Amino acid sequence: MTKSELIEQINTTTGGTKKDTALAVQAIFNTLTDTIKSDGKFSYPGFGTFTVKSRAARQGRNPQTGETIQIAASKNVGFKAAPNLKNQL
């Protein structure tokens, strides 16, 4: 599903203008992002939990040359589905 398809789906359910729906969707994702950045996690009961996961620095290989390279440490967002969501799949 694309962003425009999400906005269209929500708009047909709630009514109103597409512009207002797009602003609401963007506000939700901005809030979600800010919460994950500040608290390290975001939970929505019945759906799941988004958490920040840290990946340690490690050595890798350049597949073209076979040369060993250093891969920097990084952070990523992980998602764990709630049992309710898992059961619906």
Check whether domain 40-89 has CATH 4.10.520.10, yes or no: yes
Paired residues of 15 in beta bridges: none
- Please state, in angstroms and rounded to a whole number, the distance separating the CA atoms of residues 29 and 19: 16
Q: What is the pLDDT of residue 81?
A: 96
- Could you tell me the residue ranges of all domains in the chain? 1-38, 40-89
Class of residue 35 by CB neighbours under 10 A (exposed 0-12, middle 13-18, buried 19+): middle
pLDDT tens column, 41-89: 999 999 999 999 999 999 999 999 999 999 999 999 999 999 999 999 9
Output the pTM of the full model.
0.75
